[in-house]
Amino acid sequence: MITAAGVGGALLGYLLGWLIGVSIIPIGLVLLFVANDLAQQPHVSTRLLISRTLIYGALVVLLTAYLVPIYMVVVTTFKDPAEINLPTAWNLPEEFYRDSFDEVMAEFGPRLRNSAILVTFATALSAILGSMNGYVLSKWRIPGEKVLFPLMLFGMFIPYQAILIPLFDFMREVGLYGGLPGLILIHVVYGLPITTLIFRNFYVEIPDEMLEAGAMDGADFFGLYLRIVFPLSLPGFVVVIIWQFTQIWNEFLFAITMTSNRFQPITVGLSQLAGGEAVKWNLPMAGSIVAALPPLIVYIILGRYFIRGLLAGSIKG
């Protein structure tokens, strides 16, 4: 007779065996890193060698812990639904099941289009408006600027849940509830504090003499921005695009409460794949891969500029 304790013991033993097996890879990586250090610096002291070994070991353990969920997602995606169960969860698929992505794309098609429209317009508008705000707050003296800027930043700390009901009523009153234009407006407004902060810190480092020279040549407010400030803004725009794209693409609360079924983005569809009593776990896993690819691609393309742009304006001299 199979008991719960027996099943639990078997699973625990299986898990321990799996952990011991995969620990061979981290140990090998640590030894490889240490050997590389010894090759470059053959006269390293014992104390330094031990400290480096511990650091590399901790990094490899953290890397392994981070990659384990990714392994589970990929492996489960390519399993036949009948093959997915707890005892064999860590095993590679016996045969690669290729229909998972076809089923997911049939479900995600309209929602992918909605997310693409949403993230494109919301990111572009919040970046342009944030750039203009940063330009004004860093290079122009306006009445009440010392109060206006902190109040604008305060918007970053307002939880979504705190304004959800009044926001719902407002969007319904102005006729923007249920569609993508209303959701785009929400993300633009909610993104303005962080985009303004990033651009303001970036524009502070632009010498005032450049704008004064442009003004002497006859450039007005928009002329100075378009001919001097905007061409220097690429690092700031890269940071804002990555930040806003990721935040908007992954956002769920506004997506499910402020749109009708026809205009729901991909995050809502992903949550619905895991709903119900009988879940085909290969579909949520495949859906998570599809949903994660666009932000990943954006970061791969623009990632090398991200830290550079994020630090712009934070270092003097």
Identify whether residues 162 and 222 lie together within a single domain.
yes
CA distances from 69 to 82, 91, 96, 282 (A): 21, 13, 19, 14
CA trace torsion 38, 40, 43, 48 (10° rounding): -60
Identify whether residues 47 and 77 lie together within a single domain.
yes
Identify whether residues 153 and 276 lie together within a single domain.
yes
Domain annotation covers residue 91 = no
Domain annotation covers residue 121 = yes
Identify whether residues 157 and 23 lie together within a single domain.
no
| Pure H helices in the chain | 4-22, 24-40, 46-77, 99-139, 145-154, 164-173, 180-203, 208-216, 221-224, 234-250, 253-257, 266-273, 282-311
Domain annotation covers residue 92 = no
Identify whether residues 180 and 266 lie together within a single domain.
yes
Identify whether residues 69 and 134 lie together within a single domain.
no
Residue ending a domain, choose from 59, 83, 107: 83
Question: Computed from CA positions of residues 130, 132, 135, 141, in that sequence, does the dihedral angle turn out positive or negative?
Answer: negative
Q: Is the per-residue pLDDT at 30 higher than 70?
A: no
The DSSP secondary-structure symbol of 227 reads I
Identify whether residues 159 and 301 lie together within a single domain.
yes
Comparing 1 with 57, the larger pLDDT belongs to: 57
Helix (H, G, I), strand (E, B) or coil at 226: helix
Half-sphere exposure for 274 (CA within 13 Å, toward CB):
9
Range of the domain at 165: 99-311
Residue ending a domain, choose from 56, 83, 110: 83
Q: Is the per-residue pLDDT at 68 higher than 80?
A: yes
Helix (H, G, I), strand (E, B) or coil at 115: helix
φ, ψ of residue 178 to 5 degrees: the values are 95, -15
* Average pLDDT score over residue span 303-309: 72
The DSSP secondary-structure symbol of 258 reads S
Identify whether residues 22 and 144 lie together within a single domain.
no
pLDDT value for 117: 95
CATH number of the CATH domain containing 180 = 1.10.3720.10
* Average pLDDT score over residue span 201-218: 87
* Average pLDDT score over residue span 34-62: 68
Domain annotation covers residue 219 = yes
Q: For the segment 118-157, what is each residue's pLDDT rounded down to a tens digit?
A: 999 999 999 999 999 999 988 888 887 778 888 888 878 8
Domain annotation covers residue 247 = yes
Confidence of residue 249 (pLDDT cuts 50, 70, 90): very high
Q: Which amino acid is at 309?
A: G
Residue ending a domain, choose from 53, 83, 113: 83
- Count structural domains, the chain: 2
Confidence of residue 247 (pLDDT cuts 50, 70, 90): very high
Domain annotation covers residue 90 = no
Identify whether residues 74 and 106 lie together within a single domain.
no
Give me the residues paired with residue 259 across strands: 178
Domain annotation covers residue 317 = no
Identify whether residues 132 and 236 lie together within a single domain.
yes
φ, ψ of residue 259 to 5 degrees: the values are -130, 155
Burial class of residue 151, CB neighbours in 10 A (0-12, 13-18, 19+)? exposed
Tokens for 300?
A: 């791969």
C-alpha–C-alpha distance, residues 2 and 81, integer Å: 24
* Average pLDDT score over residue span 256-279: 82
Tokens for 251?
A: 């956002």
Confidence of residue 269 (pLDDT cuts 50, 70, 90): confident
Identify whether residues 121 and 227 lie together within a single domain.
yes
Confidence of residue 169 (pLDDT cuts 50, 70, 90): very high
Domain annotation covers residue 25 = yes
Comparing 62 with 166, the larger pLDDT belongs to: 166
Confidence of residue 311 (pLDDT cuts 50, 70, 90): low
Identify whether residues 76 and 167 lie together within a single domain.
no
Comparing 146 with 188, the larger pLDDT belongs to: 188
Quick one: what percent of the chain has pLDDT higher than 90? 24
Confidence of residue 15 (pLDDT cuts 50, 70, 90): very low
Q: Which amino acid is at 16?
A: L
